[in-house]
Each structure stands twice: as structure tokens, then as C-alpha cells.
Amino acid sequence: MSASPNRETELLDIARRIAGAAGAGEQVEAYVIHSRDTEVQAFGGDIESLSVAEVSGVGVRVIADGRQGYAYAGSLEPSVVAEVLAEARDNASFGAPDEFYGLVDPADFAGIEAPVLDLWRDELLSVPTEQKVALALELEAAAKRDPRIRGVDSAGYGDAAVEAAIVSSVGVESFARRTVASCSASVMAGEGGETQTGYGFSVGRTLGELDVDRAADDAIERTVRLLGARQPKSRRLPVILDPMVTRSLLGVIGSALGGESVLKGRSMFVDREGEAVAGPEITLVDDPTLVDAYGASTHDSEGVPTRRTELIGGGVLRGFLHNAYTARRAGTRTTASAVRGFKSTPGVGPRALHLLPGTLTPEGIMASVPEALYVQSVSGLHSGTNPVSGDFSVGATGLMVRGGAFAEPVREITIASTLQRMLHDVAAIGADLTWLPGGGAGLTLLVGEMTMSGA
């Protein structure tokens, strides 16, 4: 285990050696990552588990005779790396030829400078493990401080320092690194037969940026306000989405705006460019150049400098996200939206998807309707949403809103609509843009009407 804070040279050297092995008529791309992770879980006032690890991986893509092959390994040992390159070459002989295969040509992003982003904190690497342990214990204790909290089912701290190098035989070379630290707690409240659960978190780029009290308070508040929840009668009514719920639904929309889904016909947005797919107040943007976004990155997973991409502007579908392959197939250029782990070829996806915020505070939104359902959390989103038809039906927990304030809590309900209808039916967009762990941002959203199924 090296004390070196930065592996740039080492990772780039490995990637350069792999890409440099390309033969005539062959393109080779190497994606090499190294990550240092710590995870602490507290339980019952003690440390339940503490895990420290360094993870390395390499993925190699080979394109020859218009065919593509891929191989990976969770090791950077020279003999393993050689085996990975040989396997990728062998695999390339079995796929069907595709005229659109090909690594990114640096000419495709000529003139686009990578954003300068400060996403790395050396400090995180020098935080002693004891301090991480102490934070997890502090969070667990804080999450119990309300007498209505019956138990803490998980309280923990985690961090990662991730570095990735990409080198291709056609002249792409990039190195990106980032740190992230987070803590979260999940708590239980309720007596007799009742149990309510809720979750709170804090995220930053290093331990010092975390707000333990806020994570604990959010977990407590989001749990105790559900106490006494009952199943309401089925009906149609206005729905207010919590920022985390908004982010989840935007995630489904974002995947349907990916070039891969669109080209394969697995998207409700196929052939709709230039059409009004949402109300005029809706502008949906993916912008990995925003330093506050936890998905921010200087380059995408093919080594292309990132930039802002407007997907829906003023309600009109402006375009899709693309990596090199989907762009070529669609007759356009990459939007630097390649995403991947080292175990697969690049896919397409957003890194910092968000709606442009409106002007109303969450309280203002609640006061803008006589009655609404406030959805605090949803479950079954992936099984309950069809990105092709746009139908969705998800389990929900939340509270009724009356007279601008929370009224009785509700449980065991589903909300259903179609994503298309929902996008046209947004009645208010909150000003409370919040960047969330895992990438995008959420904000409070008021949807004119949805079906709530209950008793």
C-alpha cells in the first residue's frame, strides 16, 4: 500500500502500455482505475464493521475489422493485464461487424477544453481511520436522541478516492480523479404493531464537509412525521414530490434520453426531437461541469471533455445524450456522456441531471394548493416504470398537505400516471435545487394530478 496521494503517472503508464500494443488495423483503448475506500458501520454504540480497501481494475476494448471485443480484470498485475488484452482481441473476432464501431476521434472534440474542476481533497487520504469511526458512532448516537426513535437499523460512514486513466491508440488520453465522503442513518419509530422508517444523509468531498447533525435530524424528522400513517381512499389529486423522489423520476427520464435507449427504440422519446414533450416551464439539463454536482467530472468515460447538454428546453425536446458509438450511429457527435465501470464497454448516461429551478420555496408550493399528497419516498420505481410506454406505478409513503402544512401521514399507497403526462402537468418547480449523492439533483415539484391508489 503506497502512501502516494496521487496515482496519475502509474495509471497513465499502464494505460499507455496497453494502448501502445495496438497492431496495424487495430484500435485499442485501456481504462485503468484505482480506488481507495473506507466503510464504517456503527451499531449498538460500537463499531459493527470497518472495511478498508484498495481496488484496481482494467478494462480493454479492441476494435479490428469493424468488430469489437472486451475483457477486464480486477488486478493491474502485468501478467493479468497481458491476459486481458489477449482475451479482448480474441473476443473481437466473434462479434458482428458494425460500421459505427470505433474509438473517439480527438477531432470530434477539437476546441472543447476540459473544465477545471476541484473534485479531489488530499485531506481525505490523511484523515485517520479513528476519526471516521468516531463520526459513525457520533451519527448513531445522534440518530437516537429523539425518544420516539426505537432503533437505528444502520448508521455509517463511507468514503472513496477514485482515479481513472483512459488512453487510446487513436490519440485520446485523460486522467480524472475525485474524492467523496458521506454518512447516512436509517432509523425506526413506532409502538405496538406500528413501525415507520426514514433515512437521512450528508455528503461532501471529504469528511470535514459532512454535517452529522443534519443527517441525524433528517432521519428522525422523516420518520416521526410518518407515525400514525394510514391507508387513504383511492382518488385523483395534486401531488408534491420530495426532492429525492423528483431525482428518482428524473433518473428514469434521463435513461430514456440516452442515445442507446433511443437508437434501440427503448424510449418514449423516439422521433420526438423538436416536439413539446413537457410544459414550457420545464428545462432539463445534464451538466457535469458544475463543481457542486457529485457526478461532476472533467472527462467522460471515453476521455472526452465534458460540457453542458440541454435535453429539454422550454418543454421542447432538444436532443439526446451520446457516447462515441451512439453519436456516430445517430449521425452526430458525442456529448461526452459515456459512463462505465471497468467491467463493461461504455454506456450512455447523465452525470449531473437536473431541472432548472423555479422561484417557489417548498413551503410556498405547499401553500399553493388547497390539498395535495406529499410523496416522501417511492419504492419499486424500476419495476414499476416502463421507459418505453412511460407508464409508471410506484409504491409511496408520505403525508397529506392541507392549508400549506403537513396533515396526516399516509402509507401503503401507489401513485400512477405516465411520465409524458407528468412532464406536461408540472404546476410548480421549487427553488430548492439540491445535489444528491450518486449524481443528479432534486427539487420540490408540484404535479397537477395523479392517481393515488389506497383502500
Partner 1 sequence: MIDQDVLESVLGTALQSGGDFAEVFAEDRRSSSARLDDGKVEELVSGRDRGAGIRVVRGDTTGFAHTADLSEAGLRAAAGAAAAAARGGGGGTRTVGLTREAVHPHVIEVMPDTVPKARKVELLERADGAARAVSDSIRQVGVAYADSRRRILVANSDGLLAEDDQVRTRFMVQCVATGDTGMQTGMEGPGRTLGFEIFDELDPEETARISARRAVAMLDARPAPSGKLPVVLKRGAGGVLFHEACGHGLEADLVGKDASVFGGMVGQQVASPLVTLIDDGTFAKEWGTYAIDDEGAPAQRNVLIENGILTDYMWDLVRARKEGRASTGNGRRETYQVLPMVRMTNTYLPAGLDDPDDIIRDTARGIYCVQLGGGQVDTATGDFVFGMTEAYLIENGEITVPLRAANLIGNGPEALRRIDAVGNDFATWSGTCGKDGQGVPVSSGQPTLRVSEMTVGGTAA
Q: Which of residues 224-263 bind partner 1 (CB under 8 A)?
A: 231, 234
Of 29-68, binders to partner 1 (CB under 8 A) are: 43-44, 46-56, 61, 67-68
Binding residue for partner 1 (CB under 8 A) from 395, 406, 434, 437?
395
Name the residue with cell 463511507: 158
| CA 9 and chain centroid, separation | 28
Q: How far is the CB of 360 from partner 1 (least distance, A)?
A: 28
Work out whether 326 is an interface residue with partner 1 (CB under 8 A).
no
Binding residue for partner 1 (CB under 8 A) from 70, 120, 157, 435?
70
Q: Angle at which helices 8-20 and 78-92 pack, to 10 degrees?
A: 40
Work out whether 169 is an interface residue with partner 1 (CB under 8 A).
no
Q: How far is the CB of 116 from partner 1 (least distance, A)?
A: 32
Of 190-209, binders to partner 1 (CB under 8 A) are: 195-197
The 260-289 contact track toward partner 1, x by CB under 8 A, reads: ----xxx-----------------------
54's grid cell: 484498495
Residues in the chain: 455
Cβ proximity to partner 1: between 58 and 360 the closer is 58
Among 150, 316, 167, 339, which residue's Cα sits nearest to residue 226?
Answer: 150
Work out whether 73 is an interface residue with partner 1 (CB under 8 A).
yes
Which burial class, exposed, middle or buried, applies to 188 when counting CB atoms under 10 A from its CB (0-12, 13-18, 19+)? Answer: middle
> Interface with partner 1 by CB under 8 A: which range of 12-20, 276-284, 340-348, 354-362?
340-348
Cβ proximity to partner 1: between 261 and 298 the closer is 261
Among 167, 170, 190, 161, which residue's Cα sits nearest to residue 32?
Answer: 167
Among 418, 438, 281, 412, which residue's Cα sits nearest to residue 352?
Answer: 438
Work out whether 454 is an interface residue with partner 1 (CB under 8 A).
yes
Rounded Cα distance, 139 and 135, in Å: 6
Cβ proximity to partner 1: between 174 and 196 the closer is 196
Q: How far is the CB of 83 from partner 1 (least distance, A)?
A: 7
Give 405's contacts (C-beta < 8 A, 6+ positions apart). 366
The 351-390 contact track toward partner 1, x by CB under 8 A, reads: ----------------------------xx-xxx-x-xx-
Binding residue for partner 1 (CB under 8 A) from 11, 28, 33, 72?
72
Give 304's contacts (C-beta < 8 A, 6+ positions apart). 104, 108, 109, 112, 172, 174, 324, 334, 336, 338
Binding residue for partner 1 (CB under 8 A) from 394, 401, 429, 447?
394
Would you list the DSSP string of 174-217? EEEEEEEEEEEEEEEE-STT--EEEEEEEEESSGGG--HHHHHH
> Interface with partner 1 by CB under 8 A: which range of 150-158, 171-179, 206-214, 363-371?
150-158
Cβ proximity to partner 1: between 42 and 165 the closer is 42
55's grid cell: 481496488
215's grid cell: 443527517
> Interface with partner 1 by CB under 8 A: which range of 87-95, 108-116, 168-176, 441-449?
87-95
Cβ proximity to partner 1: between 80 and 276 the closer is 80
* Other beta carbons less than 10 A from residue 365's beta carbon: 27
Which burial class, exposed, middle or buried, applies to 402 when counting CB atoms under 10 A from its CB (0-12, 13-18, 19+)? Answer: middle
Name the residue with cell 450511429: 329
Work out whether 1 is an interface residue with partner 1 (CB under 8 A).
yes
Work out whether 91 is an interface residue with partner 1 (CB under 8 A).
yes
Binding residue for partner 1 (CB under 8 A) from 415, 422, 427, 445?
415
Binding residue for partner 1 (CB under 8 A) from 6, 368, 434, 453?
453
Which burial class, exposed, middle or buried, applies to 275 when counting CB atoms under 10 A from its CB (0-12, 13-18, 19+)? Answer: exposed
Binding residue for partner 1 (CB under 8 A) from 18, 19, 64, 71?
71
Q: How far is the CB of 95 from partner 1 (least distance, A)?
A: 5
Strands (E), 65-148: 67-73
